[in-house]
Amino acid sequence: MAARLICVSNRVSLPRKAAAPGGLAVGVLSALKRTGGVWFGWGGDLSEDDPSEPEIHIRDGVTYALLELRRDLFEPYYNGFSNESLWPLFHYMPTKFRFRHEEREAYEAVNRQFAQKLAPLIKPNDVIWVHDYHLIPLASRLRELGVRVPIGFFLHIPFPYIETLRVLPTYAELVRDLTAYDLVGFQADSDLRSFHSAVAHCVETARIEPDGLIRLGDRSFRSGVFSIGVDVEGIEGEAARAADTQIVRKMVDSLVGRKLVIGVDRLDYSKGLVERFSAYEQFLETFPDNRGHVTYLQIAPLSRKDVQSYAEIRRSLEQASGRTNGRFADADWTPIRYLNRNFPHESLMGFLRAAQVGLVTPLRDGMNLVAKEYLAAQDPADPGVLVLSQLAGAARELSAALQINPYDSRAVGHAIQTALTMSLSERRDRHSAMLEILRSNDIGVWANRFISTLRQTRESPSPVSRLPAVG
């Protein structure tokens, strides 16, 4: 049997019998099932004192190790440092950035807790795959505990260039922690270049090879681009099945023959929703013939509602949709349907399939899987058109989408009009070209590439020394 894989993520949920896994879980679970692996992370429970040992569950040959977190640490770790320091900075939005030493200390404490509870579960031949910005220090903490198996890290969000990263007072420590991994993976070439800029700035002796190998004195580690995909076949099946479900039929029937423009985003300022609502309002002004004939459905589940900036964006969107609907609505037509709730994944795929236009216009995104899901959900015989932000990682692969700058409301409006009037033959050609790309790099290919590269790294990395202070 292949060496066992241990995946570590901030949040882990046990699979539910009635729900098929979506997104990241598809690729991770496939890899874990092959090795009888372990998925380790926070299970959602909080404790008043130091947590007990992880709660172990076994499902379909996969071991789920669910950790409790201390209640007094969770808020500053998650809503604080992770999402008010790292998240805005990594998305190039320093005006949203806030730093507090006590939140950074909680972030370190939680990562130390992860390491202490994970270390006893690790076997000599394991390889460990750590996911995302919540757990950057984890390899350093595991190395301090004597763990010497290969550890890889994949960042799902962008990585900022060094001149932006330096806004963070503890940026040098962050870079040091990333150098403790044996493999560091990113979504796009720009993220990799930014990481290299940070390593070169923080470690004068670092040598960065053309193939992504980084030499740091007596040790080295690998870095590379591993653009995440989606489960194309799974989404195709979900979307086709959902088309005949009551919830999707009800939504389609309510359009009364009108064309549908759709957006599906977590409620977050990085998704460009305020700018998107403004662009749609301008679209209705510029192309008045669409009034009464096009409906824009925006699904935006609440996100991190305890963070002030997220409450502000919710108010802004409610005001923007109210203004547009107040200006243009008729007795039998509402221009914008704005929903702050989530739906089952299969229902969402059915909604995407029914839409003539998919609006994916983040101000910055590591990848944005909704763009790929929209394409995979389409009927190839009569596909819709993707309007995609140039600032999403997906834009590098999906060149046949109508690409726009999300800050340019006039360009977004014109792209919507182009999409709505595009000929069937052109829609088919664009969709076919992008679907071929999605199939060649689906979620399984992505997971296999990363894990294969990680397994090729050396078995016993040397101890990681602290980086020199940086002014």
d(CA 132, CA 41): 12
Sorting pLDDT into bands at 50, 70 and 90, what band is 50?
confident
116-129 average pLDDT score: 96
Q: Which of 132, 365, 414, 431 is catalytic?
A: 365
Residue 471 pLDDT more than 50? no
What pLDDT, on a 0 to 100 scale, did the predictor assign at position 460? 41
What pLDDT, on a 0 to 100 scale, did the predictor assign at position 34? 86
DSSP 246: H
Helix, strand, or coil (residue 365):
strand
pLDDT in tens, 442-467: 999 999 999 999 999 854 444 444 44
65-78 average pLDDT score: 96
Q: Which of 91, 156, 345, 414 is catalytic?
A: 156
Burial of 210 (0-12, 13-18, 19+ CB in 10 A): exposed
CB atoms under 10 Å from CB of 366, counted, come to: 25
Q: What are phi and psi of 151, to 5 degrees?
A: -125, 125
pLDDT in tens, 221-255: 999 999 999 999 999 999 999 999 999 999 999 99
Active site residue 156: yes
What pLDDT, on a 0 to 100 scale, did the predictor assign at position 301? 87
For residue 260, the surrounding DSSP H or E stretch is strand 259-264
Active site residue 218: no
Residue 320 pLDDT more than 90? yes
pTM comes to 0.93
Are 5-229+445-455 and 232-440 the same fold in CATH?
Answer: yes
Sorting pLDDT into bands at 50, 70 and 90, what band is 307?
low
Q: What are the start-end ranges of the H helices in 179-332?
A: 189-202, 232-242, 246-255, 273-286, 308-328
358-374 average pLDDT score: 97
Residue 267 pLDDT more than 70? yes
pLDDT in tens, 386-427: 999 999 999 999 999 999 999 999 999 999 999 999 999 999
What pLDDT, on a 0 to 100 scale, did the predictor assign at position 466? 43
d(CA 406, CA 314): 19
What pLDDT, on a 0 to 100 scale, did the predictor assign at position 224? 97
CA torsion, ordered 182, 187, 191, 193, to nearest 10 deg? 70
Give percent of the chain with pLDDT exceeding 70.
Answer: 94
d(CA 335, CA 325): 6
What pLDDT, on a 0 to 100 scale, did the predictor assign at position 305? 60
Of 16-30, 69-83, 289-303, 383-397, give the lowest mean pLDDT range: 16-30
Buried b (16+ CB within 10 A) or exposed e, 247-262: ebeebbeebeeebbbb
Of 25-29, 362-366, 411-415, give the lowest mean pLDDT range: 25-29
d(CA 93, CA 97): 7
Give percent of the chain with pLDDT exceeding 90.
Answer: 86
State the DSSP string of 61-116.
Answer: TEEEEEEEEEHHHHHIIIIIIIIIIIHHHHTT-GGG----HHHHHHHHHHHHHHHH
Record the tokens describing residue 201, joined without a space. 């700035």
What pLDDT, on a 0 to 100 scale, did the predictor assign at position 306? 61
CATH 3.30.230.10 fits 5-229+445-455, yes or no: no
CB atoms under 10 Å from CB of 134, counted, come to: 25
Place of tokens 């909604």: 351
d(CA 141, CA 183): 16
CATH number of 232-440: 3.40.50.2000
Q: Treating both helix axes as pointing N-terminal to C-terminal, what angle do 232-242 and 424-440 enclose, rounded to 10 degrees?
A: 130
Q: Where are the domains of the chain?
A: 5-229+445-455, 232-440
Place of tokens 């209640």: 71
**Residue whose C-alpha is closest to residue 464's, from 53, 184, 94:** 184
16-28 average pLDDT score: 65
Q: 79: alpha, beta or left, given left = phi > 0 and alpha = psi -120 to 50?
A: alpha
